[in-house]
Amino acid sequence: MTVTPLGIPRRLLEFTLDGEAARVPEGATILDACRAAGKDVPTLCEGDTLRPKNACRVCVVEVEGARTLVPACSRRAEPGMVVRTDTERARHSRRIVLELLASSVDLSTTPRVAEWIKEYEAKPDRFGPDAARLNDSPKVDNDLYVRDYAKCILCYKCVDACGDQWQNSFAISVTGRGFDARIAVEHDAPLTDSACVYCGNCIEVCPTGALSPRSEFDRRAAGTWDESAQTRTTTVCAYCGVGCGLTLHVQDNEIVKVTSPHDNPVTHGNLCIKGRFGYQHVQNRG
């Protein structure tokens, strides 16, 4: 019998969410409460394995008494607060943010963005064809993953995953300022000359497809990538005794990508180079 530790109980607090009483554990964010209540608040930079960065500002909501809109992903719920998620002010802000992002970067591989653009009646083309922030070609300098910064929204999740929140390799960071800010390795060198250990944990947290496995990138380029045709099987990595959980993404009887469950108590979504990329031996039919 598996025994699940209960941990230290957290006190419940109550506040008003869109006119209804909401109860969440102490320390929960407004976004946690929204999800628990079944409310669909859009977000891009938020991740369940990283500390909130408040970068994209798509999840802003209105809090009574607050001068500005607040990011639901990082603002913790407080007793008695009054939150409104679907006011005209919040919707207008989300519309502008979506327009700015969609006009400046390629969001074609970002899940649900097309749906949100339609829902908030955003019009990215009103900024004209010269609004693109970057027109760089994808950086294909290794066999494991591709960096396509034309899709990067500067959410900093990859920097955090590579840095002190998970891998502690510090291979990537933000260079430049303002409109010229971008993600790069030290001295903007090829990835093969950097401190990267190819764990791929930056890929795991990237919300837009700016970072993707080489296998996925090549299939998308060939027009054969089809997530609807893929099955997912969760197993255990056999390379060592740590017991990391793997999710194998299989298409046409071939492993096309490996991820890790974010609720796995061992990995929390993170893997090493062997677990994430070392699966070719499984399907070596030579």
Strands of the chain (E only): list them.
12-17, 20-25, 60-63, 70-71, 82-84, 145-147, 172-175, 182-185, 211-213, 231-236, 245-251, 254-259
Which tokens is 165 given? 């929140």
Per-residue confidence (pLDDT) for residue 3, from 0 to 100? 52
Per-residue confidence (pLDDT) for residue 6, from 0 to 100? 60
| Furthest CA-CA distance within the chain | 67
Give the separation between CA 202 and CA 49, rounded to whole angstroms: 12
Give the separation between CA 267 and CA 243, rounded to whole angstroms: 9
Per-residue confidence (pLDDT) for residue 265, from 0 to 100? 87
- Give residue 284's Cα distance to chain centre: 32
- Contacts with 202 (C-beta within 8 Å, 6 or more apart), sequence order: 157, 158, 161, 162, 172, 211
DSSP helix/strand/coil, 90: helix
**Residue 202, Cβ neighbours under 10 Å: how many?**
25
Per-residue confidence (pLDDT) for residue 171, from 0 to 100? 92
Degrees to nearest 5, angle at CA 178 with 172 and 183: 15
Shortest CA distance to 200 belongs to which of 161, 163, 149, 228? 161
Q: Which residues of the chain, if any, have pLDDT below 70?
A: 1-9, 134, 284-286
State the residue for tokens 């992903």: 73
Degrees to nearest 5, angle at CA 45 with 9 and 272: 80
Tell me, yes or no, if the pTM score tops 0.85: yes
pLDDT tens-place string over residues 152-180? 999 999 999 999 999 999 999 998 888 78
Per-residue confidence (pLDDT) for residue 246, from 0 to 100? 94
Give the separation between CA 74 and CA 72, rounded to whole angstroms: 6
The answer to whether 183 and 174 have CB atoms below 8 angstroms apart is yes
Per-residue confidence (pLDDT) for residue 7, from 0 to 100? 59
Per-residue confidence (pLDDT) for residue 243, from 0 to 100? 87
pLDDT tens-place string over residues 109-154? 999 999 999 999 999 988 887 777 767 889 998 999 999 999 999 9
* Residue 118, φ and ψ in degrees, nearest 5: -70, -45
Per-residue confidence (pLDDT) for residue 211, from 0 to 100? 95
Cα pseudo-dihedral 53, 57, 62, 64, rounded to 10: 40
